[in-house]
């Protein structure tokens, strides 16, 4: 099966919104589908997770640095000291792991089997590489104060 774009967009919106609200008490100001990721040089942390069953796909979570620092504080109750990369990687991966589960539950009919891998922190920093992620993908933009978080799904 290959999921339809509108269903993917709805499920991605639900999964990201519910997960961030449940884990970090963040309610996004606006959520919208975008044709592509921005070609800008903002600093982002990026994690991806591969879906194996019942379709092949990949979800990316792309978070601005400032957003991640605030989110880590909200989730763990600990202030981030300097550029604590292991905590950033762990929190981003755990967020995406939770999002992927919610996404599959929302997208698939009840009692469907699904399987996905472990989240991987992506070493992508150049804006061109980030933009490339959005080719043939569903891109959802989640705006919170001055930050925009992106959830991206693409079929493999």
Q: Are the C-beta atoms of residues 23 and 95 closer than 8 Å to each other? A: yes
Q: What phi, psi does 77 have (nearest 5°)?
A: 75, 10
Q: How far is the CB of 16 from other proteins (least distance, A)?
A: 12
Residues 114, 120, 131, 155: which binds other proteins (CB under 8 A)? Answer: 114
Segment (H or E) for 70 = helix 65-76
Q: Does 121 bind other proteins (CB under 8 A)?
A: no
**Comparison of 23 and 155: residue with beta carbon closer to other proteins:** 23
25: left (phi over 0), alpha (psi -120 to 50) or beta: left
Residue closer to other proteins (CB basis): 6 or 22: 22
Query: What b/e sequence results for 80-110 when a residue is b if at least 16 CB atoms lie within 10 Å of its CB, and e otherwise?
Result: beeeeeebbeebbbebbbbbbebbbeebbee
Among the listed residues 123, 107, 131, the one whose alpha carbon sits nearest the alpha carbon of residue 57: 107
| 102 counts as binding other proteins under rule CB under 8 A | yes
85 near other proteins (CB under 8 A): no
Among 66, 76, 85, 125, binds other proteins (CB under 8 A): 76
Pick the closest to residue 15 from 69, 66, 51, 65 (CA basis). 51
Of residues 28-57, those binding other proteins (CB under 8 A)? none
Q: Give me the least distance between CB of 111 and other proteins, in Å please.
A: 4
106 binding other proteins? (CB under 8 A):
no
Q: Which positions touch other proteins (CB under 8 A)?
A: 18-19, 22-23, 72, 75-78, 87, 90-91, 93-94, 97-98, 100-102, 104-105, 108, 110-116, 118
């Amino acid at each position: 099966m290959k999921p339809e774009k509108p269903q993917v967009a709805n499920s991605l919106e639900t999964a990201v919104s519910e997960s961030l609200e449940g884990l970090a008490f963040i309610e996004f100001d606006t959520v919208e589908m975008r044709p592509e990721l921005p070609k800008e040089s903002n600093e982002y942390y990026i994690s991806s997770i591969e879906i194996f069953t019942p379709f092949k796909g990949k979800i990316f979570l792309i978070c601005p640095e400032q957003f991640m620092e605030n989110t880590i504080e909200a989730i763990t109750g600990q202030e981030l000291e300097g550029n604590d990369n292991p905590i950033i990687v762990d929190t981003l991966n755990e967020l995406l792991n939770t999002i992927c589960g919610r996404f599959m539950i929302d997208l698939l009919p009840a009692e469907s089997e699904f399987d996905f891998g472990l989240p991987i922190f992506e070493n992508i920093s150049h804006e061109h590489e980030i933009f490339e992620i959005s080719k043939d993908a569903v891109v959802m933009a989640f705006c919170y104060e001055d930050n925009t978080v992106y959830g991206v799904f693409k079929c493999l």
